[in-house]
């Protein structure tokens, strides 16, 4: 696949072309690419770069690093991703690294490495969030959340659900890095620590199926379903269960309604490159009069921008449980202040500003 991409890029490229490669799936493209003279080659690595101790077991490590070091410019989301990469290169190759400029001198080449947190298209998110919602999504969610008898009693079961309960949401791809088991344990800790919320708070986890043919992903799904069932059995009340897991993919337009109505959004990955959900939630929720609050893992790349969120260590279920309570009880004015601050930061550092920063940095690196 990488050879085919490299061939196609080579055929389309001319002198002074700008070539931008994205993520680990295409990591070997620079190796196979016959880069035209004076062309600029940059790569953005979207996922966290591991420590050298973890990376060193990879059988293809030399080939991967050689390919990446064929670029003029490399960028990651977070500063510690850059530090991990530079440490890896230092330990695997005989290189000279300028610590002040993050320039790597290797094989008669100079490669610049930098952290550039990726932005989102905040204008598009706001536009989607402001659109009216079709009833099909309400129906799909209502069927998943409300039993048939209650649906018959409710004129609009989706709307009634949000009026009846304080709703906490989580929107994730099924993945072992998303911290879903730790999240459910934190919700259980919250219910045990603050029993006044039993019967009043529900967690709705929308989980997009992903790579379910892979045993590790099958195991994750089995683990979280078992854990959710155990917690629900422990705390169930007449007409109420605390945890609802929905294995379904919804459009961005659909999800925006959840963002706008939820009292709390849990984004608790154990490690993540950026995390789109946290940024989309902020933009969508900031458009309503009484927004929800964001509980965010310190290990999500977006934590570097969303400093007004309730930042937590997802491995610490006690800390997450306290943050859930704090978020639910936060005064409206405080939520408005925090959400406004974060939304403004995302608008300033949007996808277009990020693109411009990357292109400028790559061109400068190639000079």
Q: Which residues are catalytic?
A: 46, 272
How many whole angstroms from its chain centre is CA 29? 25
Comparing CA positions, the residue from 173, 157, 136 lying closest to residue 253 is: 136
Neighbour-count burial for 93-114, b at 16+ CB within 10 Å, e otherwise: eebebeeeebbbebeeeebbbb
How many whole angstroms from its chain centre is CA 27? 21
Sign of CA dihedral 116, 122, 128, 130: positive
Query: Token pair for residue 85?
Result: 């990469």
Instruction: Specify the residue for token string 């959400």.
Output: 339
The 3-class SS string of the chain reads CHHHHHHHHHHHCCCCCEEEEECHHHCCHHHHCCCCCCCEEEEEECCCCCCHHHHCCCCCHHHHHHHHCCCCEEEECCHHHHHHHHHHHHHHCCCEEECCCCEEEECCEEEEEEECCCCCCHHHHHHHHHCCCCHHHHHHHHHHHCCHHHHHHCCCHHHHHHHHCEEEEEEEECCHHHCHHHHHHHHHHHHHHCHHHCCCEEEEEEEECCCCCCHHHHHHHHHHHHHHHHHHHHHCECCECCEEEEECCCCHHHHHHHHHHCCEEEECCCCCCCCHHHHHHHHHHCCCCCCCEEEEECCCHHHHCCCCCEEECCCCHHHHHHHHHHHHHCCHHHHHHHHHHHHHHHHHCCHHHHHHHHHHHHHHHHC
């Amino acid at each position: 696949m990488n050879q085919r991409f490299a061939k196609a890029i080579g055929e389309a490229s001319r002198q002074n072309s700008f070539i931008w490669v994205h993520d680990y799936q295409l990591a070997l493209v620079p190796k196979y690419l016959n880069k035209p003279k004076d062309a600029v080659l940059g790569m953005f690595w979207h996922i966290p770069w591991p420590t050298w101790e973890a990376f060193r077991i990879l059988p293809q490590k030399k080939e991967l690093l050689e390919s990446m070091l064929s670029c003029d410019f490399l960028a990651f989301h977070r500063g510690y991703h850059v530090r991990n990469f530079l440490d890896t290169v230092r330990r695997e190759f005989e290189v000279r690294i300028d610590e002040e400029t993050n320039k790597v001198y290797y094989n008669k080449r100079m490669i610049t490495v930098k952290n550039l947190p990726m932005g989102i298209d905040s204008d598009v998110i706001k536009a989607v969030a402001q659109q009216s919602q079709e009833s099909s999504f309400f129906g799909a969610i209502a069927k998943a959340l409300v039993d048939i008898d209650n649906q018959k009693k409710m004129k609009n079961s989706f709307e009634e659900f949000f009026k009846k309960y304080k709703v906490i949401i989580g929107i994730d791809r099924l993945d072992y890095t998303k911290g879903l088991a730790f999240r459910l344990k934190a919700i259980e800790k919250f219910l045990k620590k603050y029993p006044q919320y039993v019967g009043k708070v529900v967690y709705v986890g929308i989980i997009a199926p992903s790579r379910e043919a892979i045993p590790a992903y099958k195991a994750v799904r089995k683990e979280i379903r078992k854990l959710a069932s155990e917690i629900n059995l422990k705390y169930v009340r007449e007409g109420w269960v605390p945890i609802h897991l929905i294995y379904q993919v919804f459009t961005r337009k659909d999800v925006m309604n959840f963002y706008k109505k939820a009292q709390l959004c849990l984004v608790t990955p154990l490690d993540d490159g950026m995390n789109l959900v946290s940024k989309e939630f902020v933009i969508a929720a900031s458009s309503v009069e009484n927004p929800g609050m964001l509980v965010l893992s310190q290990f999500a790349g977006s934590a570097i921008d969303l400093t007004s969120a309730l930042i937590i260590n997802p491995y610490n279920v006690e800390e997450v449980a306290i943050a859930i309570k704090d978020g639910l009880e936060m005064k409206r004015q405080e939520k408005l202040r925090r959400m406004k601050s974060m939304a403004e930061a995302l608008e300033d550092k949007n996808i277009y500003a990020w693109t411009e920063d990357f292109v400028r940095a790559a061109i400068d690196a190639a000079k």
